[in-house]
């Protein structure tokens, strides 16, 4: 019966009822779901039901299907299916470990371990090892989240030295910490890859799940939400503000121009590395109005290189130049001989936007109540591309001092940037004069 409720086109699953999809995930003695199906359904099923509900139902079905009424036969059959269930749960815990931050998921995992232990020593041991790896991974995540929170707290402290531009001479500037654009780009790449590595694939989808009327576990999602994804977007904003702060802060025009030139070189190195996210953050910082209005400063800068980079990241025609460059970097990555050539760090906000519009642009359910699985394949395709990029190990040496500076040095707020900018080059027209009057150092 379940087969009747699954529709295929050219051998590819296009739609099915939720029940049939759940059944399709359940291993039996002579069936194990296709890997790409497992990933796609585990990723997107959260649009329709809570991961905990899915796990309970899959485990229950897997156990129940072995029941024949004959205790001995049941035991033999469960022994045959147990390794497959372990394999499924292993794929789940390794690809979506954050689902197991929910206690109920952990309890279900424990129950299954007990259940498996009755039949098969080997599977029981595999369950134990899987659980150990999962706990390790979750504790690394906890440490990462605490570390990011601590760094953000340091960055939020606003030392007196930043409160007025005259006094800010005491704050070291970026050039005193690192004056080599290639090294700085390498350290930015470390930060990007570190933060990317903690984003769970489900975070892209979880954002939509919260809006789904079928979602009735709002508490869980509100608590867990998409925090690593948000932390990563915050990093992008921080880098833009850092670039703008470094440029607006120096008292001397010559010094400001030197910093602009330095960041253009850093942006160029980011481009060469394939770090499009830092590249875009730097360009965004340079285009913030407190920076772009510094006409006298810019007149001292050779902007040829910057214009080429801006052209690469030009939003027109749906970022077509950038998309071409990203494809180039992806191809380089696929045939890479060194880990440096493997690096692809997408402009992240655009990736999120693409996935968002993909989700908004077509219905998750068809008129007959079936789930539109074509859409889920497409979501999975985009997210799995991200997973390949995420797993690159950053090959560069870490420089702790530079890294520390990049993530913790205080940056100006928007108002402070404007004030610093007016102190560098006074208001030019009445609008700027009004704007200058409305601002105060706080
Ligand atoms: C922009 O391009 C992406 C990738 O090709 C596509 O998924 C998206 O739908 C496009 N957006 C618009 C508004 O055309």
Chain segment 185-225, per-residue pLDDT in tens: 999 999 999 999 999 999 999 877 755 444 444 444 444 45
pLDDT of residue 170: 59
Contact indicator for 269, 279 with CB cutoff of 8 Å: no
pLDDT in tens, 86-101: 999 999 999 999 999 9
Q: Contact at 8 Å (CB) between 400 and 422?
A: no
Residue nearest to atom 10 of ligand 1 (CA): 318
Please report the pLDDT score of residue 1 as a whole number: 40
Q: Whose CA is nearest to atom 3 of ligand 1?
A: 354
CA distance to 88, 89, 122, 356, 357, per residue, from 83 (Å): 9, 10, 8, 37, 39
Tell me if 354 CB under 6 Å of ligand 1: yes
Residue nearest to atom 8 of ligand 1 (CA): 354
Q: What is the mean pLDDT of residues 311-317?
A: 96
Does residue 47 carry a pLDDT above 50?
yes
Structure token digits, residue 18: 């939720």
Å from CA of 404 to ligand 1 middle: 37
Task: Answer whether residue 70 shows pLDDT above 80.
Answer: yes
pLDDT confidence tier of residue 171, bands split at 50, 70 and 90: low
Closest residue by Cα to atom 1, ligand 1, is 318
Task: Give the lowest-confidence range in 160-164, 306-310, 361-365, 367-371.
Answer: 160-164
Q: Describe the crossing of helices 253-273 and 227-248 by its angle, rounded to 10 degrees.
A: 140
371 has which bridge partners?
Answer: 16, 365
Q: Is 372 helix (H, G, I), strand (E, B) or coil?
A: strand
Residue ranges covered by each domain of the chain: 50-135, 176-411
Q: What are phi and psi of 391, to 5 degrees?
A: -85, 0
Residue 7 pairs in a beta bridge with: 15
pLDDT at 130: 97
Return the pLDDT at 168. Answer: 54
Angle among Cα 106, 112, 118 to the nearest 5 degrees reads 145
Residue 385 in this model has a pLDDT that exceeds 50: yes
Q: How far is the CA of 354 from the centre of ligand 1 (A)?
A: 6
Residue 177, pLDDT score: 96
CB neighbours (10 Å) of residue 405? 19
The overall average pLDDT reported for the chain is 90
* Bridge partner residues of 12 (DSSP): 9
Contact 193, 345 (CB under 8 A): yes
pLDDT in tens, 219-277: 444 444 568 888 898 999 999 999 999 999 999 999 999 999 999 999 999 999 999 99
Closest-lying ligand 1 atom to the alpha carbon of residue 354:
7
| Domain boundaries 176-411, corresponding CATH code | 1.10.840.10
pLDDT single digits (tens) 350-382: 999 999 999 999 999 999 999 999 999 999 999
Query: Is 5:17 a contact under the CB 8 Å cutoff?
Result: yes
The percentage of residues in the chain with a pLDDT greater than 90, rounded to a whole number, is 78
């Amino acid at each position: 019966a379940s087969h009747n409720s699954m529709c295929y086109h050219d051998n590819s699953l296009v739609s099915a009822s939720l029940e049939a999809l759940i059944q399709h995930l359940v291993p039996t003695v002579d069936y194990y779901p296709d890997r790409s199906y497992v990933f796609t359904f585990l990723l997107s099923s959260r649009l329709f039901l809570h991961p905990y509900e899915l796990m309970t139902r899959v485990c229950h079905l897997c156990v129940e299907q072995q029941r024949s009424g004959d205790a001995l036969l049941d035991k033999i059959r469960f022994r045959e299916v147990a390794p497959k269930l372990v394999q499924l749960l292993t794929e789940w815990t390794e690809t979506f470990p954050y689902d197991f931050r929910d206690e109920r998921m952990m309890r279900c995992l424990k129950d299954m371990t007990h259940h498996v232990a009755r039949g098969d020593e080997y599977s029981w041991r595999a369950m134990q090892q899987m659980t150990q790896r999962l706990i390790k991974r979750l504790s690394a995540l906890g440490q990462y989240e605490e570390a990011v929170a601590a760094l953000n707290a340091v960055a939020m402290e606003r030392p007196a030295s930043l409160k007025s531009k005259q006094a800010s001479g005491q704050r070291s500037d970026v050039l005193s910490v690192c004056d080599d654009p290639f090294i700085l780009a390498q350290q930015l790449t470390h930060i990007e890859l570190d933060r990317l590595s903690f984003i769970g694939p489900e975070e892209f989808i979880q954002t939509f799940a919260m809006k789904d009327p079928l979602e009735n576990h709002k508490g869980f999602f509100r608590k867990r939400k998409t925090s690593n994804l948000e932390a990563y977007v915050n990093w992008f904003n921080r880098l833009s503000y850092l670039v703008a702060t470094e440029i607006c802060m120096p008292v001397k025009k010559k010094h400001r121009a030197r910093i602009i030139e330095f960041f253009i070189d850093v942006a160029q190195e980011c481009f060469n590395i394939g770090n499009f996210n830092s590249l875009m953050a730097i360009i965004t910082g340079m285009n913030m109005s407190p920076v772009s209005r510094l006409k006298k400063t810019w007149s001292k800068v050779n902007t040829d290189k910057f214009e080429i980079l801006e052209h690469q990241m030009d939003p027109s025609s749906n970022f077509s130049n950038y998309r071409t460059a990203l494809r180039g970097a992806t191809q380089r990555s696929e045939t890479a001989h060194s880990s440096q050539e493997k690096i692809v760090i997408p402009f992240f906000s655009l990736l999120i936007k693409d996935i968002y519009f993909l989700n908004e642009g077509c219905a998750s359910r068809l008129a007959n109540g079936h789930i539109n699985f074509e859409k889920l394949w497409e979501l999975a395709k985009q997210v799995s591309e991200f997973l390949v990029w995420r797993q690159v190990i950053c090959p560069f040496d870490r420089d702790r001092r530079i890294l520390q500076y990049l993530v913790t040095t205080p940056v100006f707020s928007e108002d402070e940037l404007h004030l610093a900018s007016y102190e560098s080059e006074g208001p030019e027209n009445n609008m700027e004069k009004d704007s200058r009057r409305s601002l105060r150092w706080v």
